[in-house]
Structure 1
Amino acid sequence: MIPHVSRPLRAVAVAACAMLAGCAQLSPDAGFDRLAQTSTERLGQAPAWNRTPEQGQASQDRVTRLLQADGSAGPTATRLTSADDAVQIALINNPELQAAFAELGVAEADLVQAGRLPNPGFSFARTHAGDDIKIERSLSLGLMRLLTMPATARIQQRRFEQVRLSLAARVLALAAQTRQAYYQAVAAQQGLTYQQQVADTADAAHELAAQMARLGNISKLDAAREQFFYGQAQASLQQAQRLAAQDKETLARLLGLAPDFALPAQLPALPAQLDALGDVEQQALQQRLDVQAARTELEGLQGSLGLTRATRLVNVLDLGALRTSESGKPPEIGYEISIEIPLFDWGQARVAKAEAIYLQGAHKLAGAVLDARAQARLAWRQRQDAYALARRYRDQLLPLRQRIAEENLLRYNGML
């Protein structure tokens, strides 16, 4: 039983508790829609979180549709035709990404828990002395936890936002890795096709040189050169086969699939020119999700530090209502307050720990900003160099290799 208070005040207290309890509710998707929206804005493609068997089956059906049937390779063969399809498959089928999405549910559960009212405590005691019976009842509530609930909820809200940003950054990173792995696998397969052609030419030249050497039509030096070229071509072919299998396995692992799908025979054509990117460093600082996550984490740590400092001396404060009944006497009604006395622990260690964690977060943010700037500059330079190198291969080296192959073929035909 609680001490007597006016009915309006009691109604207000009950309504306030109901409102506080009602605000802390789990969402159906744990905030996944916002993460998917971020992915759609950045990539034009959205991930899927397979939380139920029905959602998992829907994702598998979509993977089947994205892997187009390849009738030329058999009735059950499939072909992955574009990098965009590869990225979409990874976003809905990569098992490591699916496991990471569970962090969103954990963070939301912590957020909801921080907004829940603490459970009250009830105690009952019955004593007797002869015929006299004494009954004590008390109902208590953790007042300190109730007072710090708004601050704790804000801290958990920032942590939830930080987890969401970190997962969104992981989605973008997986998309970039998958796109790179797709192009690398196609390039390795195209290189294998070229090395197979070189090996076939070297095999024919080696066989002809061996016949001519037995007849004495070429010198031992020329025969040795042809034999060396043949051995080198076979070694290059083995290396190309290994790289093609390795790169395809890497792609399949990112997709969450077995490497039994076919790939295009060659890479898409180079663009006529690269798009202008503007100030890449400024864009990185504004758009990098890991930088935003580090900044949000630091804000949460700042709130935790303030809460720790505010509660360093008084960390436990309970308020309770009492009712005592004793034989032959009227009931006694009152209240009790329980407080922790900071006699041995003044909270310095907790404050020092919070300060160290906050300082660590500040340095992490500074490091994330520094990494973002450096990686943006390096990525821009690599993009320019890769485009220039690809154009050099397309315009100069590949035509020369084609001419050499044609001349070798003419030479071989002329020796027949």
Structure 2
Amino acid sequence: MPSLPLPTRSRRGAAPAALALAGLLAGCAALPPDPGLPGIQARVAERLGRPVELVRADGPAALEGIARRVDELLAAPLDADAAVQVALLNHRGLQADLAGLGVTEAEVLQAGRLPNPGVRFGRSTRGAEREIERSLHLDLARLLARPLVLRAEARRLDAARARVAGQVLALATDTRKAWVQAVAAEEGLRYARQVMQAAEAAAELARRMAQVGNFSRLQQAREQAFQAEAALGLVRAAQQQQAARERLVRQLGLWGAQTAFRLPERLPELPAQPLEAPGLEQTALAQRLDVQAARATTEATAQQLARVRGNRFVEVLDLGLLRNGASGAPVQRGWEIGLELPLFDDGAARVARAAALHEQALHEAAQAAIAARSEVREAYGAYRAAWDIARHHRDELLPLRARIAEENLLRYNGMLIGVFELLADARAQIAGVQAAIDALRDFWLAQADLDRALVGAPRPTAALVAPADAAAPAAAAH
């Protein structure tokens, strides 16, 4: 950026020039409120298939608005989509991730700022003679390297946004899985209570029949053992239901009276057909956020390596404009350039460090692509197996259990079997329904894992250097 010499004739003339220079520097780009939020919303909405609402809790009014919106969503039985929306609105860990993105954006903005000029003023006297020296200095090395720095920081910001978007999508997936587990646990608890009721009825009937001598002690002990096992299963089901609900509460970020929300009685039905997977690996490589973040990191380190190589020998380069005046003598004008001599530090270490970071980023990008292909294949295999198992329970085992129950009821009415055989069949039917619930739960969990495998979960990397670290040698040289 060109610099203007400061006039020496009067102090009043220096003020307008200083104000103009300050205004020019202040005209650099300012960080808008929530700069990265729209881009993250677009990425999340594209991958979730529906618009999402992310709110940054930056004040009491915003928090009150979030609380009202959450209460509206919790008023009805909470389905999976509503649970995801509550988590995106109310999870304070997500707000912390958004705040962390703001830190990165501020660092990128700072790296793109024009270097501040330095002003020097000197006054000396020799007898009646007075001499005034004024100079304006600018870090020319930083100014020349600014285009490379801006490109590298843009890649770093892209990588940071991809990571935060991945964290948002991971929160959505974890919330959906927690919702599935909570609903399945509540449904399992209801069936465990039914088993307990049947076991209690059988044990009471066995006790009465044993009192009148119509039941052996061995048969009575079997029914009592089943009642004890049913009681133990009920305790376990209650504990699993409570733990699953608390995991969902944490995902939703709820507390106090909000934790009394209601859930649907059943999981969604199994889809009629499973998802097909043509080009699944290519889709994952194209849209996974961890792959995108790794690519952006690689590009950022390449730009950084080019910048370090470009100013390897000259890390400090100052341009100064001078104007000296002495009483009774003509004004002297001129310029000066200051640079450091690479006698002891030729920049080889900085180049080696940048080259190593770039090589690290290349390997991490390759590993991200390999892992993406494998993870999506594994997730789809688990998804198809879970769909086949759930369909087998729905179309084969449950109808067979129902048919057996009908036949046993006919035989009981015809006095061909006793009440204990009928109760045993009822217990087996309830156990079959519980197995079908577990299979349906596993399918929806596998569906969530497949969705997550398709979008990825970016991991932090050490390959990106903060602007302050990159500028440290230059600052130390001053």
For 1:91-110, list aligned pairs within 5 A: 91-110=88-107
Q: Which residue of 2 aligns with 1:39?
A: 44
Mean Cα displacement is larger for which, 399-408 or 278-287? 399-408
What SS class does the counterpart of residue 178 from structure 1 fall into? Answer: helix
Cα separation, partners in 2 of 1:173 and 1:154, compared to 1, 3 Å: same
Letter matched to residue 411 of structure 1: V
Q: Which residue of 1 aligns with 2:385?
A: 385
Deviations 1:115-158 (A, max 9, x none): 22111111122233333333221111111111111111111111
Q: Which residue of 1 aligns with 2:372?
A: 372
Distance of 2:166 and 2:356 partners within structure 1: 26
- Of residues 136, 140, 163, the one that matches 2:137 is 140
Q: Which residue of 2 aligns with 1:301?
A: 301
Distance of 2:21 and 2:127 partners within structure 1: 45
Cα separation, partners in 2 of 1:19 and 1:120, compared to 1, 3 Å: closer
Distance of 1:132 and 1:19 partners within structure 2: 36
Distance of 1:314 and 1:17 partners within structure 2: 28
Q: Which residue of 1 aligns with 2:72?
A: 65
CA contact (8 A) 1:3 1:333 kept: no
Root mean square deviation, CA, Å:
2.8
Distance of 1:270 and 1:169 partners within structure 2: 27
Distance of 2:183 and 2:404 partners within structure 1: 24
Distance of 1:223 and 1:404 partners within structure 2: 25
- Of residues 127, 134, 146, the one that matches 2:124 is 127
Distance of 2:128 and 2:277 partners within structure 1: 91
Deviations 1:71-98 (A, max 9, x none): xxxxxxxx31x11111111111111111
What SS class does the counterpart of residue 116 from structure 1 fall into? Answer: coil
CA contact (8 A) 2:117 2:139 kept: yes
Q: Which residue of 1 aligns with 2:228?
A: 231
Tell me the CA shift for residue 168 of structure 1: 1.5
Q: Which residue of 2 aligns with 1:249?
A: 246
Q: Which residue of 1 aligns with 2:432?
A: none
Q: Which residue of 1 aligns with 2:268?
A: 268
Letter matched to residue 158 of structure 2: E
- Of residues 195, 198, 207, the one that matches 2:195 is 198
Gaps of 5+ in 2: 8-19, 413-417, 424-478
What SS class does the counterpart of residue 137 from structure 1 fall into? Answer: strand
Tell me the CA shift for residue 38 of structure 1: 1.7
Cα separation, partners in 2 of 1:369 and 1:260, compared to 1, 3 Å: same
CA contact (8 A) 2:148 2:307 kept: yes
The reply on whether 1:54 has 2:61 as its aligned counterpart is: yes
Aligned residues: 396
Mean Cα displacement is larger for which, 157-166 or 46-55? 46-55
State the percentage of identical aligned residues: 46
Deviations 1:346-366 (A, max 9, x none): 111111111111111111111
What SS class does the counterpart of residue 123 from structure 1 fall into? Answer: strand
CA contact (8 A) 1:316 1:340 kept: yes
Cα separation, partners in 2 of 1:321 and 1:24, compared to 1, 3 Å: same
Tell me the CA shift for residue 329 of structure 1: 2.4
Letter matched to residue 40 of structure 1: A
CA contact (8 A) 2:92 2:253 kept: yes
Q: Which residue of 2 aligns with 1:2?
A: 5
CA contact (8 A) 2:117 2:137 kept: yes
Q: Output the TM-score relative to the length of structure 1.
A: 0.87
Distance of 2:85 and 2:311 partners within structure 1: 48
Distance of 2:167 and 2:134 partners within structure 1: 54
- Of residues 173, 188, 200, the one that matches 1:176 is 173
Letter matched to residue 146 of structure 1: L
Q: Output the TM-score relative to the length of structure 2.
A: 0.77
Distance of 1:153 and 1:85 partners within structure 2: 40
CA contact (8 A) 1:20 1:115 kept: no
Q: Which residue of 2 aligns with 1:76?
A: none
Distance of 1:54 and 1:3 partners within structure 2: 49
Distance of 2:303 and 2:284 partners within structure 1: 27
Deviations 1:27-73 (A, max 9, x none): 2321311211122222213131323433333332221221125xxxx
Gaps of 5+ in 1: 5-14, 70-78
Cα separation, partners in 2 of 1:285 and 1:19, compared to 1, 3 Å: farther
Letter matched to residue 2 of structure 1: P
What SS class does the counterpart of residue 325 from structure 2 fall into? Answer: strand
Letter matched to residue 93 of structure 2: E
CA contact (8 A) 1:49 1:101 kept: no
